[in-house]
Amino acid sequence: MANRKYIVGNWKMNGLQQQLSDIAAIAAVAAKHDNVDAGICPPATLIASANAANPGFAIGAQDCHFNENGAHTGNLSAAMIKEAGATYSILGHSERRADHGESDEDVKAKAEAAHAAGLGAIICVGETEEERDAGQAVAVVTGQLSGSFPEGADASWLTIAYEPVWAIGTGRVPEASDVEEMHAAIRNKLGALMGEGSDAVRILYGGSMNGGNASELLAVPNVDGGLVGGASLNAEKFGPIIEAASAF
Ligand code: PEP
């Protein structure tokens, strides 16, 4: 089943109020390509103002806690980021898994909390370079997917992002054949986990996607879009990726 391409920018810990003009410029490009679903996940401090300034443009978060409230200093609940104006959240990004010790179980609970609050969830999975070199990439990624998979998952709110850890922020991109193999494995695992409706779950590729390689990556079977870090910070870099997606 053909899915609309979905292009999401992950700003990570970048962006002050001054960079809201970059989100506005990106939203303007997205508005011209309405056959693509595009969005930006800025730092939580910018969600409310980015949402208010860009009606109709999908602003997301980069994380949420799995509890509804409580003694979790420095964390934000799904309801909090929703109230701020986010409509979805990236969850289980490899930087959160590595820097904050997030387990598959945590990511599953976060996705369920996001859904309960009315948010979409983009669950990230991906192997390290050592795991790929050891021939374990598919087993690691499908294992992460099973462990992180939320109850009651449905394509209306769940997206998967395959992000090889060694490709994030490095300028290195896997061979198209490796991306194809992994996305097919993820598609098969989704079929096993959820049965009917699994074909409609979008599987994004993430890791050094840019305006120069987006067309090739987006043409790979089962690549339904991209999760983009460095090349999402302004319209000059992110616009060409949205345009590339629009050609499909
Ligand atoms: C990411 O961190 O989600 C990502 C894909 O980063 P980059 O595009 O910079 O590799």
Residue 6, token pair as written in the block: 């979905």
Look over the chain and give the mean of its residue pLDDT values, rounded to a whole number. 97
> Does ligand 1 come within 6 angstroms of the Cβ of 208?
yes
pLDDT at 216: 98
pTM above 0.75, yes or no: yes
Active site residue 93: yes
pLDDT at 2: 64
pLDDT at 1: 47
Amino acid in position 154: D
For atom 8 of ligand 1, the residue with the nearest CA is 229
Confidence of residue 121 (pLDDT cuts 50, 70, 90): very high
pLDDT at 3: 84
Provide long-range contacts, Cβ within 8 A and 24+ apart, for 47-51.
Answer: 47/81, 47/84, 47/85, 47/86, 48/84, 48/85, 49/17, 49/20, 50/20, 50/23, 50/85, 51/84, 51/85, 51/86
User: 102, 112, 131, 163: which is the annotated catalytic residue?
Assistant: 163
Residues 180-207 have pLDDT tens digits of 999 999 999 999 999 999 999 999 999 9
